[in-house]
Structure 1
Amino acid sequence: MKKNIIYCSDSCPFCQRAYQLLESKGIPFKKYYVKDQNDWDEVREKTGRNTVPQIFINGVHVGGFDDLSAANQSGKLDKILNES
């Protein structure tokens, strides 16, 4: 199974919401804290975005919390989870 990763900051309320949503669905994930310029460069390189959270499920870039929530509501998140 591919990894579930969140680029995050614990001071970010949207990161907290993402953790809660994933935990409520029983989805394990690893947090990568964005702390310095090198971390931000990595986030931008992988996602093209300058914000956290940036969420990868099963290796697929889902986006930020709003994207994650929309994917959950539409059923897209479950489809991503079921792909191998």
Structure 2
Amino acid sequence: MSIDVLMYSSNYCPFCTRAKQLLQSKGVVVKELIVDGNPELRQEMMQKGGRHTVPQIWVGDTHVGGCDDLFALERAGKFDALVQCAG
């Protein structure tokens, strides 16, 4: 898929790893921004998404939220439709 998926994450976050694995299993290319040691990037993430936890995921212009939000979207069968709409 050629849709843009942006994920703010941390190298030490198991939720980030799970989210990235799900996205990759769906054939989605993830642009990952690591916030570790980068307070400016973390601030950018918080301003964009209103949350301070990682991961924070966007599909196109749509803020999905975190790992639990992503998996809930997938369980509900709505992730593929979101990717198609964003593409």
TM-score of the aligned structures, taking structure 2 as reference length: 0.89
Structure 1 unaligned residues grouped into runs of 5+: none
**Secondary structure at 1:23's aligned position in 2?**
helix
CA RMSD of aligned residues (A): 1.2
2: CA distance between counterparts of 1:28 and 1:59? 15
Letter of the structure 2 residue corresponding to residue 48 of structure 1? G
1:3 counterpart letter in structure 2: D
Decide whether aligned partners of structure 1 residues 54 and 38 sit closer, same or farther in structure 2, where only a CA change above 3 A counts: same
- 1:1-84 → structure 2 map (5 Å cutoff): 2-35=3-36, 36-83=38-85, 84=87
Instruction: Say if 2:3 and 2:28, in contact at 8 Å, map to a contact too.
Output: no
Which runs of 5 or more structure 2 residues have no equivalent in the other structure?
Answer: none
Distance change >3 Å, CA 27–CA 2, structure 1 → 2: closer
**CA distance in structure 1 between the aligned counterparts of 2:32 and 2:46, rounded to whole angstroms:** 17
Count of aligned pairs between the two proteins: 84
Amino acid at match of 1:51: T
Bigger mean CA offset, 53-62 vs 63-72: 53-62
Give the fraction of aligned pairs with identical amino acids, expressed as a percent.
Answer: 43
Deviations 1:30-80 (A, max 9, x none): 100113221111011000000000001122110000000000111221111
Structure 1 residue runs of 4 or more that deviate by more than 3 Å after TM superposition: none
